Amino acid sequence: MDLKELESGVDPKKHWYYQSKKVPLFRYFKKLAREHSKKLTVIDFGSGSGFFAYELFEAFPEHIEEVLLIDIGYTVDEMESTENDPVKKLRYIPKGISDCIVIMMDVLEHIEDDYAILKEIRDAISSDGYYFITVPAFMSVWSSHDVYLGHYRRYTIPMLKKLLDTCHCKIYHQYYIYGSIFPLAWAVRRLKRNEENMTNPESSDMKPLPRPVNFALKQYNTFEMNFRKINKLFGLTCVAEGKLK
């Protein structure tokens, strides 16, 4: 999760985007938990605040062995303070972990060599490691929002498939989410592009909204998640679910 998106006062526990985005993650995790007799370790790579991992732990504590928040930005004090907690902060994934799910929520687009980092993650897992990946979709929607957040690229399903295949990761499902709001977002960003400061943007597009608008968007996009796996055409976010090894 990108900490820069929180600087505008967005509360992920209430904002429609984060609350609807966790829905496919929860459903995938629930499916894995049903299929495994052992508890799973949740590894939130590039975790930032760890919002999605904390939400998972709160929703499925009986199916989770421990949660590892992985981020190179954590200080020594932050890591030491969680040493004996079920949710631990670390800078790197410990070697040899099995029975785990690695979640990468809008992380790969921040990394110049996405292949190298995905291979490093895969090599750290010994067996029965699964993944859930989200990345922003379509370079045609590129805007100052991406520049501000430090993105290198936006993906498509074929791009993400090629990356996962190259790293020998098994793909269960790929799809787009936020498909119905994509045309509006595309049009708005294309119209604003000439007016934007693409060199040194000052903020992201993520803003707090009036409560009724936020509620309506949350309900609508959560409902749309029921049809996510059939959307192979377009959306603001590209999703991949599968197995690392």
Q: How confident is the model at residue 207 (pLDDT cuts 50, 70, 90)?
A: confident
Give the pLDDT score at 189: 86
**Where in the sequence is the domain holding 38, given as residue range(s)?**
3-243
CA–CA gap between residue 124 and residue 221 (Å, rounded)? 35
Domain harbouring 163, CATH code: 3.40.50.150
The pLDDT score that the predictor gives to residue 195 is: 67
pLDDT attached to residue 159: 98
β strands within 26-124, DSSP E: 40-45, 64-70, 87-90, 97-105
Using DSSP's 3-state secondary structure scheme, residue 142 falls into coil
* pLDDT band (50, 70, 90) for residue 88: very high
Digit-coded pLDDT (tens) for 112-121? 999 999 999 9
Q: Identify the band that residue 190 occupies on the pLDDT scale cut at 50, 70 and 90.
A: confident
pLDDT digit string (tens) for 111-168? 999 999 999 999 999 989 999 999 999 999 998 889 989 999 999 999 999 999 999 9
Q: What percent of the chain has pLDDT over 90?
A: 83
Is the pTM higher than 0.85? The answer reads yes
User: How many distinct structural domains can be found in the chain?
Assistant: 1
Percent of the chain with pLDDT over 70: 93
Residue that the structure tokens 């499916």 belong to: 31
pLDDT tier at 204, thresholds 50, 70, 90: confident
* Residue 155 Cα distances to 44, 107, 135, angstroms: 20, 12, 7
Given a cut of 80, is residue 67 above it in pLDDT?
yes
In this structure, the chain runs to a length of 245
pLDDT at 144: 87
Buried b (16+ CB within 10 A) or exposed e, 17-51: bbbbbbbbbbebbeebbeeeeebbbbbbbbbbbbb
